[in-house]
Structure 1
Amino acid sequence: MVGAGSAVVNTYPLASYTFGTKEPKMEKDTSVADRLARMKVNYMKEGMRTSVEAILLVQEHNHPHILLLQIGNTFCKLPGGRLKPGENEIEGLKRKLTSKLGANSPALVPDWQIGECVAILWRPNFETTMYPYCPPHITKPKECKKLFLVHLSEREYFAVPKNLKASCCAIV
């Protein structure tokens, strides 16, 4: 088996994973405007927001796909979220993955193998747009988001909150 930090990424068929359900995880905000307003309030208290997201790769029809969490019929996102102030990125991502996809039974929670950071995105203002660089004229970005590749075992159990749906998207 290839571990974290390797140039090789093993992917396994989606059918080799088991998906169960757990109690709903409600979103804190009902709209994008509410989320940005909350982000502004938190920025005034804590400074720049640091968030992490996981790229979970699986195979479907012999082609790589990314596992996503679908909210409603139109919005999908990578599992992850905001780190606590001073929290380590790897430990924070493991905490978020367990919160979003881990079973209630500790025996069924995956041993998350966090791999490479594959992207860093910056939010210069309290807007939805994020960039793969911090614009040079921005001295106080509002958010830094890091995307990490997560190496999955051949078999895992994922518990998806009842208000979300596990979905996958082909990598083109």
Structure 2
Amino acid sequence: MRVPRESVGPDEAPEMEFGASTGPKIETGREGPPIQHLQFARQLLESTAATSLSFSVSRRILKLFFSTPSSSLNSSSINDSASLSVSLLVCSRGCSIVGKCKATLPCTIAQRGGGGGGGGDQSRVLDIYPLSSYYFGSKDALAFKEETLADRVNRMKSHYAAHGLRTCVGAVIVVELFRHPHLLLLQVRNSTFKLPGGRLRPGESDVEGLKRKLTSKLSADGAGDETQWEVGECLGMWWRPDFETLPYPYLPPNVKKPKECTKLFLVKLPVSRKFIVPKNLKLLAVPLCQIHENLKTYGPVIAGVPQLLSKFSFNIIDS
């Protein structure tokens, strides 16, 4: 731990001695902190690293403790400060660890929230399976409208005039290939890349609409397996301020009436599944290292997916 000391002038430079086994020693000419301070600091830092005690709380405790005069230090004050640091540990159920736990089972380190109030590490582990575990087939082509950019803008304006804000959903589906996570993307006309998903119907919920789109583009016709898609948390939202600009990962403060909102959801795959793709679409597995910040090829939404997934630890499960 770094302890503040008085500044030393050029004529009062500390002497440095090198011992055979103890390493460099710096003598400053002033007394260092009492050994009780250093013992408690070490104890507090060890408890912080081993548990979920916030480092900001630890710093406040140490600042208060080191401001105490050494003459007033005793074993009782050290024990009281140590008890204070332990009592600040709180489990995910809101009970003090040194008190009575509200749960029937004792609290564990994995169950305690971190300094930011988050959950344990288990909730941030994403199981992914090899690409070879899945079957891929084809079905009849989907009907796509041949339209220019001007036609698309006019269509969005007509939709906005009739229904207001347009909401789109996209599925983030990750598989393993060559021991690296890959993202499943749909390629349209051998040029445009899209996440599986699409536009919601007026009044349709995000999850149900995404399941409908996944079944339409990745399942056999009439399979009726909408409930088999495990739609997880929303990873991010993108906003289109007007009809022609690219989407932003935030809503600009000067925009009061955005024209489109795109929501990305994590979709977890089972150990095996059949993907039935329309003939005029290509389902590709693209490595995250190739997608990362590659705006020119994949656009801002897809290029930002690796950053959204950075909070997860990938657990590759070999089948």
What TM-score, normalized to structure 2? 0.50
Residue 35 in 1 paired to residue 152 in 2? yes
* Higher relative contact order, structure no. (Cα contacts within 8 Å, ≥ 6 residues apart): 1
Query: After the TM superposition, which residues 101-120 of structure 1 pair with which residues of structure 2 at under 5 Å, given as runs?
Result: 101-106=218-223, 111-120=228-237
**AA at the equivalent of 2:229:** W
**AA at the equivalent of 2:137:** G
Q: Is the 8 A contact 1:20 1:160 kept in 2?
A: yes
Aligned to 1:142: 259
Q: Is the 8 A contact 2:211 2:226 kept in 1?
A: no
Residue 68 in 1 paired to residue 185 in 2? yes
Aligned to 2:165: 48
Label 1:20 to 1:147 Cα distance change in 2 as closer, same or farther (>3 A).
Answer: same
Residue 155 in 1 paired to residue 272 in 2? yes
Q: The residue matched to 1:106 in structure 2 has which SS?
A: coil
Aligned to 2:281: 164
User: Which residue, out of 199, 204, 210, partners 1:82?
Assistant: 199
Residue 17 in 1 paired to residue 134 in 2? yes
Aligned to 1:122: 239
Q: Is the 8 A contact 1:110 1:157 kept in 2?
A: no
Q: Is the 8 A contact 2:211 2:227 kept in 1?
A: no
**AA at the equivalent of 1:162:** K
- Deviation of 1:109 after TM superposition, in Å, equals 6.7
- Deviation of 1:150 after TM superposition, in Å, equals 0.1
Q: Map Cα deviations across residues 55-106 of structure 1 (whole Å, 9 max, x no partner).
A: 1100111100100111122211101011111111001100110011111252
CA distance in 1, matches of 2:221, 2:253: 45
Q: Is the 8 A contact 1:48 1:143 kept in 2?
A: yes
Which protein is bigger by CA-based radius of gyration?
Answer: 2
Q: Percent identity?
A: 52
Residue 59 in 1 paired to residue 190 in 2? no
What TM-score, normalized to structure 1? 0.91
Q: The residue matched to 1:44 in structure 2 has which SS?
A: helix
Q: Is the 8 A contact 1:102 1:109 kept in 2?
A: no
Higher helix share: 2
CA distance in 2, matches of 1:130, 1:15: 34
Unpaired segments of 5 or more residues in structure 1? 1-5
Aligned to 1:3: none
Number of residue-to-residue matches in the alignment: 167
CA distance in 2, matches of 1:9, 1:93: 20
